[in-house]
């Protein structure tokens, strides 16, 4: 059974799924694991006949803690202030938080994720936290004791579960409450030394995270929530949250769905503040949206994911295509016991419902070459026909994939994937074995050869002549690309066109070098 269906089978009745983020920087692929995990659970719940409400909260009243890499250090003046009250670094959006939320919303739309989007500062300003703020003050000693017992961190002095927004400097991370009489507090700001009196209702500040999270469970009626392994650690915010929500607010804690990080290969976990990331909006522009959904659907949330925007992305797309062929019965599953799970992964990878018939497939590697060598979709189709592809089914997914490849080539692809063909056969002095190698390829290549056919001819020709794979491929890449390495040769030759390839090879075989 797929992991999302397991979650759905473990709960009964109407459900409310919730998740969210603090929009303090670029929202990246790692962040998308949370919302897509939640969305797939929502789909599984609905497929099992359960009624579901799905919320996503932008915690935009959180303070800015650090200026992310790539943003001018002058914005350090806003550290400690609520994100929704800080100007946008790009000068184009209403606030810091909106600059990062807007492309995220666009990503959600492309991915087909439908949810109720909430801004946490709105919940405060509309008074939805007021009763729970009052209850938190009334039970502040109890809450402080829970946090100390569960987290192991001793709370010293008077504990007030509220961060006041300073009326003078606007920070909320350095204010200290001195006295309290509902609904007012007297406070001092340790940054600007301002002292004042503040109404804690309607957005005058916020509950600290370990209290705010369970308060949101109450306000929204949350019954299921995915969250990262940091919150799930022993003594972490989920452990304190479930005690506070049950012992103080009198509500059952939500069913937890804990997920691991998505790592960038050779770089570690993604972090907006460190600039180690692939933006979510870039991911859905450099590959079809089904690919990001597939990445999340195929991995159990408790397993970490390692990816990159180069060969790793190509492998991921190829794996998705194989899953699609298995779903439509064109290819057998390598693990027949998992065929049901593989089919379910494909279903959850779709932006909407699965297509009724398999879309026209072209290997990602092949498209990488075609979009660089052909000027239009018609030229791409003509090249595919000449390579033995049977053009049938829905072509639109292939055309959209071609646009994604162009975006990937422009913004993310390594140089090894970028090709510029030599205009004419370069002058090269070849020995007898090299001429024999090229002659055997020339004789073996046939019009309509597939990439696999080409690879077979090249390998057999190399073994029977030069007998050095590295030298054989380097020779071919230098002839056609004027460099030692390049994309897969079978896809390259079929993209160029077999007759054009043979024309180049004749130049050397006929002694014109």
CA dist., res. 168 & res. 194, Å (int): 6
Residue 199: pLDDT band by 50, 70, 90 thresholds? very high
Examine residue 349 and state whether it is found in any structural domain, yes or no: no
Q: Is residue 69 part of a domain?
A: yes
Whether the per-residue pLDDT at 475 is higher than 80: the answer is yes
Residue 214 has pLDDT above 60, yes or no: yes
> Is 70 exceeded by the pLDDT of residue 429?
yes
pLDDT in tens, 482-507: 999 888 899 899 999 999 999 999 99
3-state secondary structure of 149: helix
pLDDT at 159: 95
- Taking 90 as the threshold, does the pLDDT of residue 271 lie above it? no
What is the structure's pLDDT at 456? 95
User: Mean pLDDT over residues 373-388, rounded?
Assistant: 91
Are both 150 and 62 inside the same structural domain?
no
Say if residue 28 is in the same domain as residue 121. yes
Residue with the larger pLDDT of the pair 123 and 157: 123
pLDDT of 101 reads 97
The pLDDT score that the predictor gives to residue 448 is 81
Query: Average pLDDT for residues 1-20, to the nearest whole number?
Result: 98
Q: Tell whether 63 and 187 lie within a shared domain.
A: no
Q: Which of 156, 183, 206 is the last residue of a domain?
A: 206
Range of the domain at 449: 432-509
Note whether residue 317 is domain-resident. Answer: no
Q: Where are the alpha helices (DSSP H) in 74-208?
A: 96-111, 120-125, 130-138, 140-151
Do 501 and 444 fall into the same domain? yes
pLDDT over 90 for what percent of the chain?
A: 86
Residue 216 clears pLDDT 70, i.e. is over it: yes
SS3 33: helix
Whether residue 314 is contained in a domain is answered as no
- My answer on whether 120 and 226 are in the same domain is yes
Separation of alpha carbons 492 and 503, rounded Å: 15
What would the pLDDT profile of 442-460 be if each residue is shown by its tens digit? Answer: 999 988 888 899 999 999 9
Q: Are residues 109 and 248 in the same domain?
A: yes
Can you tell me the mean pLDDT for 135-159? 94
Residues 6+ away with beta carbon under 8 Å from 354 = 327, 346, 347
> For the chain, what is the domain count?
3
pLDDT at residue 35 is higher than 70: yes
Domain end, chosen from 156, 191, 206, is at: 206
Spatial separation of the C-alpha atoms in residues 104 and 44, rounded to whole Å = 23
Which one-letter DSSP state was computed for residue 73? Answer: G
Q: Are residues 107 and 232 in the same domain?
A: yes
Same-domain pairing of 218 and 85: yes
Whether residue 360 lies inside any domain: the answer is no
| Per-residue tokens: 168 | 């003078």
CATH number at residue 481: 1.10.10.350
Strand order from edge to edge, sheet including 255-259: 116-119, 52-58, 15-21, 224-228, 255-259
3-state secondary structure at position 105: helix
In a domain, 92, yes or no: yes
The structure tokens listed for 120 are 């946490």
Q: Read out DSSP for 389-450? A: ----S--HHHHHHHHHHHHHHHHT--GGG-----SSPPP----HHHHHHHHHHHHH--TT--
Same domain flag for 67 and 41: yes
pLDDT at 511 over 80: no
Provide the pLDDT confidence category of residue 405 given band limits of 50, 70 and 90. Answer: very high
pTM of the model: 0.92
Q: Which residues contact 191 (CB under 8 A, 6 or more apart)?
A: 80, 166, 169, 171, 174
State pLDDT tens for residues 235-267: 999 999 999 999 999 999 999 999 999 998 877
Residue that terminates a domain, selected from 160, 178, 206: 206
Check residue 293 and give its pLDDT.
98
Averaged pLDDT for residues 32-57? 98
The residue with tokens 């504990």 is 159
Mean pLDDT, residues 129-136 taken together? 98
The answer on 13 and 110 residing in a single domain is yes
Quote the pLDDT of residue 403: 96
Structure tokens at 508: 């050397």
Average of per-residue pLDDT across 259-288: 85
CATH number at residue 94: 3.40.50.620
Q: Categorize the per-residue pLDDT at 465 as very low, low, confident or very high, splitting at 50, 70 and 90.
A: very high
pLDDT recorded at residue 512? 52
Q: 277-281, 343-347, 446-450, 486-490: lowest mean pLDDT where?
A: 446-450
| DSSP code at position 259 | E
User: For 167-189, what is each residue's pLDDT tens digit?
Assistant: 999 999 999 999 999 999 999 99
Q: Would 124 be classed as within a structural domain? A: yes
Write out pLDDT tens, residues 47-78: 999 999 999 999 999 999 999 999 999 999 99
Identify whether residues 59 and 174 lie together within a single domain.
no
| Mean pLDDT value across residues 1-11 | 98
**Would you say residue 232 lies in a domain?**
yes
Does 9 share its domain with 92? yes
């Amino acid at each position: 059974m797929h992991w999302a269906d397991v979650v759905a089978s473990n709960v009964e009745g109407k459900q409310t799924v919730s998740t969210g983020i603090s929009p303090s920087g670029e929202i990246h692929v790692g962040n998308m694991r949370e919302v897509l995990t939640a969305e797939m659970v929502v789909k599984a719940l609905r497929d099992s006949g359960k009624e579901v409400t799905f919320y996503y909260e932008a915690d935009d009243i959180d303070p800015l803690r650090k200026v992310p890499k790539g943003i001018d250090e002058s914005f350090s003046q806003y550290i400690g202030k609520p994100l929704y009250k800080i100007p946008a670094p790009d000068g184009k959006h209403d606030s810091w938080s909106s600059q990062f939320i807007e492309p995220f919303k666009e990503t959600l739309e492309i991915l087909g994720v439908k949810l109720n989007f909430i801004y946490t500062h709105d919940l405060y300003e509309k008074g939805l936290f007021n009763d729970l703020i009052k209850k938190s003050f009334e039970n502040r000693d109890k809450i402080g004791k829970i946090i100390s017992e569960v987290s192991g961190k001793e709370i010293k002095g008077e504990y007030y579960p509220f961060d006041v927004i300073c009326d003078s400097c606007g920070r909320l991370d350095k204010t200290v409450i001195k006295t309290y009489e509902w609904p007012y507090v007297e406070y001092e700001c340790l940054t600007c030394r301002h002292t004042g009196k503040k109404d804690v209702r309607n957005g005058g500040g916020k509950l600290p995270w370990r209290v705010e999270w369970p308060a949101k469970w109450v306000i929204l009626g949350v019954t299921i929530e995915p969250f990262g392994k940091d919150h799930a650690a022993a003594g972490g915010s989920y452990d304190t949250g479930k005690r506070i929500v049950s012992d103080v607010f009198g509500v059952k804690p939500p069913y937890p769905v804990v997920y691991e990080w998505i790592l960038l290969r050779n770089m570690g976990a993604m972090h907006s503040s460190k600039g180690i990331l692939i933006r979510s909006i870039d991911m859905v522009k450099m590959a079809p949206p089904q690919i990001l959904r597939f990445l999340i659907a195929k991995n159990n949330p408790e397993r970490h994911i390692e990816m990159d925007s180069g060969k790793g992305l190509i492998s991921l797309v190829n794996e998705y295509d194989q899953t699609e062929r298995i779903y439509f019965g064109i290819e057998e599953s390598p693990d027949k016991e998992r065929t049901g799970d593989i089919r379910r992964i494909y279903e959850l990878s779709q932006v909407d419902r699965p297509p009724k018939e398999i879309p026209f497939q072209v290997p990602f590697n092949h498209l990488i070459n075609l979009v660089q060598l052909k000027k239009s979709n018609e030229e791409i189709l003509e090249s595919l026909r000449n390579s033995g592809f049977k053009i049938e089914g829905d072509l639109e997914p292939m055309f959209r994939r071609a646009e994604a490849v162009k975006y990937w080539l422009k913004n993310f692809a390594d140089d090894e994937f970028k090709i510029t063909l030599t205009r004419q056969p370069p002058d090269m002095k070849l020995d007898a074995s090299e001429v024999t190698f090229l002659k055997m390829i020339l004789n073996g290549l046939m019009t309509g050869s597939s990439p696999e056919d080409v690879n077979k001819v090249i390998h057999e020709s190399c073994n029977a002549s030069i007998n050095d794979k590295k030298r054989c491929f380097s020779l071919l890449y230098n002839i056609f690309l004027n460099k030692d390495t390049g994309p897969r040769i079978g896809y390259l030759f079929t993209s160029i066109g077999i007759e054009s390839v043979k024309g180049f090879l004749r130049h050397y075989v006929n002694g014109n070098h």
